Amino acid sequence: MTLHVGEDLFSNVIAVSLLSLFITALVHSYHLYSLRQKDFDDFDLALDVAERLRGSILAVGDGLPGLIEISQCRLENFAKILAVQRIKMRVEIRTLDGKLLQYSGPGPDALSCYLSPATNVSLPVAVVCDNRGAKLCELVVHVWRD
């Protein structure tokens, strides 16, 4: 059996095409995996920040889980700690009907949202009022990397 130049060239083109297709599929699947992993890491970071705010930074000294008092100073100090790690945050405290009670921190600018979109988490909290009562609210934390 003898092979001619045309048959060798055709078989080489087929082999290179199949190899290129396999490499492209492999690169694409790794890219999708890395995007999912980044999304998971960003959500985990946002959840950690929100739970730390609810559990220790804004928590009332009574040790009751989810009972917080609004403190702009504590939020600013915690934002400075996160800024050292190049993490920015915006905190909103909303009532259950959507009314904004308090917010802290700037929102993400358009360029940082394009490069590293903000991830947000909302947790239920009870905010201590002046007359020692508590109001059910929602703690919304937006986190993004600088």
pLDDT band at residue 141 using 50, 70 and 90 as cut-offs? very high
**pLDDT 10s digits, 6-47:** 677 888 889 999 999 999 999 999 999 999 999 999 999 999
**pLDDT 10s digits, 67-95:** 898 889 999 999 999 999 999 999 999 99
Report yes or no: 100 and 90 within 8 Å, Cβ to Cβ.
no
- d(CA 105, CA 88) in angstroms, rounded, equals 8
pTM of the model: 0.78
The residues near 76 (Cβ < 8 Å, ≥ 6 apart) are: 104
**Would you kindly state where each structural domain of the chain is located, as residue ranges?**
41-145
